[in-house]
Each structure stands twice: as C-alpha cells, then as structure tokens.
Amino acid sequence: MSVAVAVSSDGRFVFVASEADNAVTSFSRDTTTGALTFAGSLKNGTNVAGLGGVSSLVVSPDGLRLFAASATDDAVVALGGASVGRMPWTSNYRAELTASRLGPTLALADAIRELGEGAPAFLSASAVGYYGSVPGAVLTEASPAGNTFLSLIPI
C-alpha cells in the first residue's frame, strides 16, 4: 500500500512511497496523456539503505532532489549545498549558494512536518562561515553571527 506520492515540478516524474515494502518507486509520466511508465525502484536493504518505513516524500523546489522521511528513524540530518570553494562568487553563484541550502532544507522540513506528532529530529548543517572571518578568535555557540555573505545564509 502506498502512503505518499510526490510529483516533480515539471510533472514528468511521479514517486510513490510504500511503508510496508520499505521502498520508493519512480515512474516517468507522459505530460500529454498522463500515462505512467515504470522507471525504477529503491528498496531498503536491497539496493539502498535508509528507507525502512518510508512514509513521506517531497521533491525539492528546484526539482533536482527527492527527499524521503521515515517514521521509524530517530533523526534526519541534512548536509549540503553548492561548493563554497568555487570562485568567483558572482551574483548568480551567490543565488545558487543560497538556493542550494534553503531549497533542500525547506523541502526536508516539509517532509518531516508531514509525519506529525513524534516526527524525527531535524538537523541541518549548512552553516559554514556562520561566524564570519575572525582569525585567532575562540568561538562558542554564544558567539554572535558574522556579517559576511556566508554568515547570513543560515540565519
């Protein structure tokens, strides 16, 4: 029995979660007729780990990522974003740095919220540069945020 369905923003792909099967199945979709064609399946313990009890699906706003959440896991950890090592940071790349962190984080938060009461904890770690540039300083959780571009993204 399926428990969640997600459709890509362009309507070309449909994803179905089966909590009982611990699997996510994907289909390509003909946008003219709506016909579905099996594209593949990921099953916990067979060709992927981490889908045990999968119960919620969300496609990232940019349509590039599918996030699955499980009611049987204790936490969801999100690490990611465009590389801060790529230069130069043009205005377009600054927008990509921001979107690559905020889009997936918001999508994960939505998926976890759908689980309701007893949902797993959510930790997002994309705060590289949060304190700004302070060479030689000892920083703690009580230290204030910096005022550089990177320090403002996670706020």
Return the domain boundaries, the chain: 4-152
Cβ neighbours for 49, distance < 8 A, ≥ 6 positions apart: none
Q: Which residue has the higher pLDDT, 93 or 44?
A: 93
The SS3 assignment for 125 reads strand
Stated length of the chain: 155
- Residue 147, class by beta-carbon neighbours within 10 Å (0-12 exposed, 13-18 middle, 19+ buried)? exposed
pLDDT of residue 124 exceeding 70:
no
What is the overall mean pLDDT for the chain? Answer: 79
- Give the confidence band of 33 by pLDDT, cuts at 50, 70, 90: very high
- Higher pLDDT among residues 61 and 93, named by residue: 93
Q: How confident is the model at residue 32 (pLDDT cuts 50, 70, 90)?
A: very high
pLDDT (mean) for 107-133: 75
CA distances, 104 to each of 41, 63, 72, 137 (Å) = 22, 10, 21, 32
Q: CA separation (Å) from 2 to 13, 85, 101? A: 16, 41, 29
Cα separation, 114 vs 119, in Å, equals 8
pLDDT for residue 34: 92
Please determine, for residue 79, whether its predicted confidence score (pLDDT) is greater than 50. no
